[in-house]
Amino acid sequence: GAGVSQSPSNKVTEKGKDVELRCDPISGHTALYWYRQSLGQGLEFLIYFQGNSAPDKSGLPSDRFSAERTGGSVSTLTIQRTQQEDSAVYLCASSPSEGGPYEQYFGPGTRLTVT
């Protein structure tokens, strides 16, 4: 079946601009996660959504970062006023959430470059 998809695959933006990154989880997966992978920080958790519960935003590095999940499916990660340190690969993952535990399935990522 289809895996997690992310768009765009690459994004180059100028410092100070806003960007939106999109994630389509695996159909039927009720949990959705955002991580980022950067040279300096490795792989780090940003935010996750589980069903209708309030999202866990504990990993968001600043208030310039936000995410939403519409209709329990597609999610958008928004970075406002981008900075060079935001350059990274942003990864989305999904999993079932009822019962469990479960592994998380990762998408190919969006490579963000802030110039």
Partner 1 sequence: AQSVSQHNHHVILSEAASLELGCNYSYGGTVNLFWYVQYPGQHLQLLLKYFSGDPLVKGIKGFEAEFIKSKFSFNLRKPSVQWSDTAEYFCAVIIKAAGNKLTFGGGTRVLVKP
Binding site for partner 1 (CB under 8 A): 31, 33, 35, 42-45, 48, 50, 56, 58-59, 91, 93, 95, 97, 100-101, 103-109
Contact assessment for residue 87 and residue 112, using Cβ atoms and an 8 Å cutoff: yes
Give exposure, 40-62, as e/b (b: 16+ Cβ within 10 Å).
eeeeeebbbbbeeeebeeeebee
At 90 the three-state DSSP class reads strand
Give the residue with the Cβ less far from partner 1, 37 or 73: 37
The DSSP symbol for 93 reads E
Considering the complex, what minimum distance in angstroms separates the CB of residue 2 from partner 1? 14
Give the residue with the Cβ less far from partner 1, 18 or 44: 44
Considering the complex, what minimum distance in angstroms separates the CB of residue 18 from partner 1? 25
Considering the complex, what minimum distance in angstroms separates the CB of residue 46 from partner 1? 9
